[in-house]
Amino acid sequence: MYRGSIVALITPMHPDGTLAEESLRRLVDFHVEQRTSGIVSVGTTGESATLDAREHCEVIRLTVEFAAGRLPVIAGTGANDTREAIHLTACAKAAGADAALLVTPYYNKPPQEGLYRHHKAVAEAVDIPQILYNVPGRTACDMLPETAARLAEVPNIVGIKEATGDLDRVTRLRELCGPDFALYSGDDATSCEFLLRGGDGVISVTANVAPRGMRALCDAALSGDRAGAEALDARLDGLHRKLFVQANPIPVKWAMAALGLAPTGIRLPLIWLPEDLQPAVREAMAQAGVI
């Protein structure tokens, strides 16, 4: 599977909230130029919660079209309704996505057996490589390593994005799921150590703003260069933290607009980053060397 720095791409929008197609094209080209290892399209950072099903599928289709095989595209297709998740995953396959990323069902709090049956049903319905996504801080639902191990036995479930920030889970998941099951960090602040402990990559918010830095960090960590990886991570630490001063993707969309890489659109109920928080994000961008 895919390794290294995979960007959780924003969905660029005009100030009125409509999709900014040409900006999306430029962002894909930017990440190719910056040597990002892959793109996640329409994940949490891509405002999947406020795109309707038609828009969701269209953004995936456009991202695949613009990437044109130059880097892999992983489509966010999770939902808290199994039927909807199957529909979105089928759209991703039809669009030519390389894999799908499915968040655990949010809000309805399924038990572990429900999580197992949900993801197994999607995997059996749509023949595309699928990556589980565990982010209990947003979903109020925690997929335990033992459940991930059961799902790892399903042939086209190939990895997990683990966003708890609990580094002990890296070891536990590797023990239970085996060496061929891909482990991705979903928490930028702990991603360096995650990789040094045996992870395969990071699906990163920071990579939107500092793609070359995140690529270098991942390359160092995956090669076992602890000192080099930690030095690179220290430079990016401010971004890891300040891009979450409000709910993601509020700060990262402001940062991308500040860099001239995206317009100033975001959809309610999210709002534009308040002026009093902008200096902290700008300072972190300066520390990372992107402005």
Percentage of the chain surpassing pLDDT 70?
100
pLDDT value of position 48:
97
pLDDT value of position 248:
98
Domain boundaries, the chain: 4-229
Average pLDDT, the chain: 98
Give the DSSP per-residue string, the chain.
---EEEEE----B-TTS-B-HHHHHHHHHHHHHTT-SEEEESSTTTTGGGS-HHHHHHHHHHHHHHHTTSS-EEEE---SSHHHHHHHHHHHHHHT-SEEEEEPPPSS---HHHHHHHHHHHHHHS-S-EEEEE-HHHHS----HHHHHHHHTSTTEEEEEE-S--THHHHHHHHHH-TTSEEEE--GGGHHHHHHTT--EEEESHHHH-HHHHHHHHHHHHTT-HHHHHHHHHHHHHHHHHTTSSSTTHHHHHHHHHTTSS-S---TTS-PPPGGGHHHHHHHHHHTT--
pLDDT tens string 63-114:
999 999 999 999 999 999 999 999 999 999 999 999 999 999 999 999 999 9
Residues comprising the binding site?
45, 203
As a whole number, mean pLDDT of residues 193-201 equals 98
pLDDT value of position 1:
78
Residues comprising the binding site for pyruvate?
45, 203
Whether domain 4-229 has CATH 3.20.20.70: the reply is: yes
Confidence band, pLDDT 50/70/90 cuts, at residue 42: very high
As a whole number, mean pLDDT of residues 254-276 equals 98
pLDDT tens string 56-66:
999 999 999 99
pLDDT value of position 168:
95
Is this structure's pTM higher than 0.75? yes
pLDDT tens string 114-127:
999 999 999 999 99
Which residues does the annotation mark as catalytic? 133, 161
